[in-house]
Amino acid sequence: MILLRAEALAFASGLLIVLSFPKFGHGAVAWVALAPLLIALAGAPGPAHGFRLGYITGAISSLGLVYWTATVVVQYGGLHLGLGIAVMVALCLALALFPSLFGLLVVAWIRALGPRGLLLSPLAWVASEILRGNTLCNFSWCLLGYSQQPFPGFIQIARYTAVYGVSFLLAGVSAALAYIALEKRAGPRWMVGLVTAAVAAGVWIHGEWLLGQRWPESGRVKVGLVQASILQDEKWDPDRAIENVRRHVELTRAAAAQGARLVAWPESAVPFSFDRVPDVAEELRALVRQLSIYLLFGNDDHEDPPGGPYRAWVAAKILTPQGELALRYHKIRLVPFGEYVPLQPVLTLGGRFTARLVRQVADFTPGDEYSVGGVDGHHVSTFICYEAIFPDLIRQFTARGAELLVNITNDAWYGYSSAPYQHLAMAAFRAVENEKYLVRAANTGITGVVDPRGRIVERTELFRPAILVREVAFVPGTTFYAQHGDVFAWACLTAAAAVTAATWKKRR
């Protein structure tokens, strides 16, 4: 009966994590989301049971947050519904391994240190998150801290710690609540409660102070963001390719009429190799000359040298008002099972299903250069779609002098699911971490403008053609995070390893 109660608490934590994120939840829930799991872990008979409880939390939260992957692989990957659900479940079960590691560590610490082990649990949580983004899974979608994007006062610590510092704070509050619920002595309960409240208040006060400060500016530019809202079955229809480009052209003219100097089109707005279709290339060059604009657009690049291997890249380019190329960027972080297949030689041995999956997935080459382009003498960088969830990647552009960040994406894959809302919230953190304006052009939405404090100051609706024109600042300089990267998260991992080693030695 006690074990069933523990499993129910783990299930509750998984559900609370789901309810912390858009579009169905609210970020306030995240402050208590881990408390039920931690209470269950405090009563677990051993680390193996802690692993199991963490796995339950991880599986439920993953199912609730990335359920939309089934639709993507069925509708656009051509898989049978049953196989699509199997792919989604397999992903969720893999993601659940990281909360299960958290559960295992916390139980080991509690067994060695007593209830005080709960108070160290934020180290284990952040360790699990940094491992999730830097191991085979490589899928940092909806880390706990992202739930706080609607509360700008609490996310300003991301300029030092990235999203991981916010996750640490949330896990710390849940740990304090669990400790207070389990500790029988009034003195320690009060001490933990007061210290936790003081830390949270300090983070919020510092954040509110930063929100009142103005960021430096080296200039301003009026940006036009184009949302043509082209559905997936139309976007990749070769008979519609030229027509789709011209839909972007018409919206660009409307943006330029409102004074836009830099116009951004979404990912793959030009759904073929720009250099291989000279008529379209010349049409776009004529467009920028006529309107006197910079044009940033997504397309694909291809290379097929005689006797050499064929290669393709997901790309973005900037054309100057003179029609010259100011930036060429090749996407560095590709979408697994969408733009490349990890472990291809292994998967092709897995039977007809896995062989079919490998054949149907595009095989792009990752880029290797953090490109920075020029717009009216200022430095601009762009990143593409899924790359928005990798803080350590985006900071590289700032470290190389970027003063404005442009995110281009095609979220049509996700329909009206939670994914477009989740994706925007995660992208907004990159603005805070780098203290830069982030402007976002999304094919079907959500297109938006995020200020250097992570506030979404303007946005569009899903699946409606739109242009968004707004003046933004070029913001020079860097932040602690942009300069030093994930030192906080790796320090948490190191500390978690040290605590584990110390407790293991103590038990021996």
- What the block records as the tokens of 156 is 């300003």
Residue-wise DSSP of 31-87: GTTTHHHHHHHHT-SSHHHHHHHHHHHHHHHHHHHSTTHHHHHHHTT---HHHHHHH
262-264 sheet: strands from edge to edge: 325-330, 311-319, 294-303, 262-264, 219-227, 466-474
The pLDDT of residue 1 is 46
Q: What are the residue boundaries of the structural domains of the chain, listed by start? A: 2-212+486-507, 219-332+371-476, 333-366
Residues taking part in catalysis: 267, 331, 385
| Residues 321, 323, 328, 334, CA torsion sign | positive
Q: What are the beta bridge partners of residue 468?
A: 225
| Prior bond of 23 cis (ω within 30°) | yes
What's the pTM value of the predicted model, to 2 decimals? 0.93
Q: What gap in Å lies between CA 461 and CA 93, rounded to an integer?
A: 32
CATH 3.60.110.10 fits domain 219-332+371-476: yes
Cis peptide before 394 (omega within 30 of 0): no
**Cβ pair 313, 300 in contact under 8 A:** yes
Beta bridge partners of 479: none
**Can you give the pLDDT at residue 24?**
87
Angle among Cα 403, 378, 161 to the nearest 5 degrees reads 10
Region of residue 337 (left: phi > 0; alpha: psi -120 to 50; beta: else): left
DSSP 460-487: --TT--EEEEEEEEE--S--HHHHH-SH
- pLDDT less than 50: residues of the chain: 1, 358-360
What pLDDT sits at residue 235?
77
pLDDT at position 447 is 98
Take residue 303 and report the two structure tokens written for it. Answer: 């290379």
pLDDT at 250: 97
